[in-house]
Structure 1
Amino acid sequence: MNRWIDVSQKLTNEIPVWPGDTPFSYQVSWSKEESGSVNVGQINMSTHTGTHIDAPFHFDDEGQCVIDLDVNLYIGDALVVHVKNAKRIELKELAHLSLEGVTRLLIRTDAWTDRTSFPATIPPVDPELVPYLAKQGIRLLGLDLPSVDALDSKELAAHHALHENGIHILEGLVLDEIEEGMYELAALPLPLVEGDGSPVRAVLRQK
């Protein structure tokens, strides 16, 4: 049986976060020396650190929080495709693909390979692509980027278009070594009752 491949960013105190967002930190707050039996760690982080999902509440005050999302969205067959050297992720990049029966689409752009620093620019998803993806049956879109929109966007047109078309968002994947093809995906969010997003441990297994 094929082994699961970890496609998550490693959470270290050096992981880059969105400029201005909460830095990630882990420390042992209660040591074995102090407790007499165990080390207990403390984490401080943004819900959008590393590999994570966006809940609609992230960009819509009336949107669903993480706990309201169907966990089945984040487990199951996923198609990995490569869209490299693109300025934008548009229909022309995907029109040649057969997406029949595909529910989860993961796009490898290779636009963010140095994950020791936050990227200066990324290829955003064209909102006009979204209705096409929805028509094909896509319900989860994953990217190896920190956002589906341009980094300086305030309108977040792609976020809103995906939400309006019933497509959920998985960002910050590490797909550097992943070839095109069908995989099994597991990328479960934490059960955050009021969460606008959640880190995930994303793994793939080739079918």
Structure 2
Amino acid sequence: MRQLWDISAPVHPGSPVYPGDVAYTQRWCARLPDDGPVNLSAITLSPHVGTHADAPLHYAVDGAAVGLLALEPFIGPCRVIHVMACGPFIEWQHLAHALVDLPPRVLVRTYHQAPTQWDACLTAFAPDTLERLADAGVLLVGTDSASVDLADSALLPCHQVLWRRGLRVLENLLLDAVPEGDYELIALPLRLTQADASPVRAVLRSLA
């Protein structure tokens, strides 16, 4: 059997959230054995909690909702690239050691260990890096950071590159245990037909 890496951040009431966003909460609607034959719960959360796929609707007025996106970018060959301690931006030169025969999906690890609370100093992509990845045929970019843009960015230039170039994106990946290299990515968003993002259960599978 091919090896699997679960690269999904655990979701629970303490999961980091963007300041002011809706944190994860859960309440029980029915409990065994007193309330019937099954346990039933209700959850509330922003679709950006934990590992998630942003939809164009998140950053463009006329962008598509996440449930309307084609699934092909979210499944297939990918490369994990390590750029820890690269500074505030992931520049093209930080990826240069791993760009030969690039597959159409690129996941970037920026943390030695994923944060357990909101990181206001997260590492973002440089917009030009995303432009050049799109030029290289990349369909999807992913990061273990909470955003492709700086945490305090108002203009969101990287999200605008995603929109203009038709790139798909995964954020809040958990890449702590994943070596650099090539894998198969499986990270399908839910079919939420009106949502600006979706949680994903992101998995890497070895190629052999």
TM-score, normalising length: structure 2: 0.94
Determine helix, strand or coil for the equivalent of 1:67: helix
Cα offset for 1:112? 5.9
The residue number in structure 1 matching 2:114 is 113
Aligned to 2:157: 157
After superposition, where does 1:34-183 map in structure 2 within 5 Å?
34-87=34-87, 88-110=89-111, 113-115=114-116, 117-183=117-183
Which AA in structure 1 matches 2:205? R
- Which residue identity is paired with 2:31? S
Q: Deviations over 1:144-177 (max 9, x none)?
A: 0100000000100001112211211100000001
In 2: Cα distance, 1:112 partner to 1:176 partner: 6
Q: Percent identity?
A: 38
Q: Which amino acid aligns with 1:120?
A: A
Query: What is the number of residues matched between the two proteins?
Result: 206
Maintained 8 Å contact 1:183/1:204: yes
Q: Is the 8 A contact 1:99 1:136 kept in 2?
A: no
Q: Deviations over 1:123-146 (max 9, x none)?
A: 111111122111111010000010
**Stretches of structure 1 lacking an aligned partner (at least 5 in a row):** none
Distance 1:158 1:99, change over 3 A: farther
TM superposition shift of 1:77? 1.0
- Contact 1:78–1:184 (CA<8 Å) still a contact in 2? yes
Q: Is the 8 A contact 1:111 1:122 kept in 2?
A: no
| Closer, same or farther: CA 129–135 of 1 in aligned 2, 3 Å | same
Q: Give the partner amino acid of 2:108.
A: I
| Between 143-152 and 160-169, the greater mean CA deviation after superposition | 160-169
Partners of 1:112 and 1:125 in 2: CA distance: 19
How many angstroms does 1:45 deviate by?
Answer: 0.3
| Aligned-CA RMSD value | 1.4
Deviates more, 1:192-201 or 1:126-135: 126-135
SS state of the match for residue 183, structure 1?
strand
8 Å CA contact 1:112, 1:144 repeated in 2: no
Runs of 4+ in 1 over 4 A off after TM superposition: none
In the TM superposition, residue 97 of structure 1 has moved relative to its aligned partner by 2.7
**What TM-score do you get using the length of structure 1 for normalisation?**
0.95
Cα shift at 1:113: 2.3
User: Which residue identity lines up with residue 95 of structure 1 in the other structure?
Assistant: A
Partner Cα separation in structure 2 for residue 198 and residue 111 of structure 1:
26
Letter in 2 for 1:127: P
The one-letter code of the counterpart of 1:85 is A
Q: Is the 8 A contact 1:112 1:145 kept in 2?
A: no
Q: 1:96 to 1:145 in 2, by over 3 A?
A: same
